[in-house]
């Protein structure tokens, strides 16, 4: 199942629909750039989402491709996920994403991290 309705817990300051859209945008950005900089809280929420998307891309069938496209709503990111990222981790059982801490953000002191594929 692609993450649809968020589970109980941290909504990152917004409602569930906004959280779902924000995580989809972050996931699409990560897939396209292969490395993004964001806050630690968003990275913690993003990691399981991307792990599930990569697992679906490893299977590579049409049904899973449509599930991922429905979540991401980005054809380019979905194509790259299924053609490049998924096959890259074909022999890996999990742990496709790495989160590296950078330190506090200059403006408001929010803890920043880099999220990248292993």
CATH of the domain at 92: 3.90.1030.10
- Residue 9 maps to a domain: no
- Residue 3 maps to a domain: no
- 113 contacts 102 by C-beta, under 8 angstroms: yes
Q: What is the pLDDT of residue 11?
A: 76
Residue-wise pLDDT tens digits, 81-96: 999 999 999 999 999 9
- Residue 51 maps to a domain: yes
Residue-wise pLDDT tens digits, 21-45: 999 999 999 999 999 999 999 999 9
Higher pLDDT, 2 or 81: 81
Element holding 42 (H helix, E strand): helix 40-59
Q: What is the mean pLDDT of residues 104-108?
A: 95
Write down the pTM of the prediction.
Answer: 0.90
- Residue 40 maps to a domain: yes
Identify the band that residue 1 occupies on the pLDDT scale cut at 50, 70 and 90.
Answer: very low
- Residue 60 maps to a domain: yes
Domain of residue 56, residue span: 16-117
Does residue 5 surpass a pLDDT of 70? no
Domain count, the chain: 1
Q: What is the pLDDT of residue 32?
A: 97
What sign results for the dihedral spanned by CA atoms 84, 45, 28, 98?
negative
- Residue 48 maps to a domain: yes
Q: What is the pLDDT of residue 93?
A: 94
């Amino acid at each position: 199942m692609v993450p649809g309705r968020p589970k109980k817990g941290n909504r990152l300051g917004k409602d569930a629909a906004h959280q779902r859209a924000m995580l989809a945008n972050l996931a699409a950005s990560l897939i396209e750039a292969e490395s993004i900089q964001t806050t630690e809280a968003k990275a913690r929420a993003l990691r399981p989402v991307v792990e599930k998307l990569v697992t679906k891309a490893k299977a590579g069938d049409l049904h899973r491709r449509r599930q991922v496209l429905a979540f991401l709503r980005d054809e380019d990111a979905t194509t790259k996920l299924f053609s490049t990222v998924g096959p890259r981790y074909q022999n890996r059982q999990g742990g496709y994403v790495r989160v590296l801490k950078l330190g506090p953000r200059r403006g408001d002191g929010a803890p920043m991290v880099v999220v990248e594929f292993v």
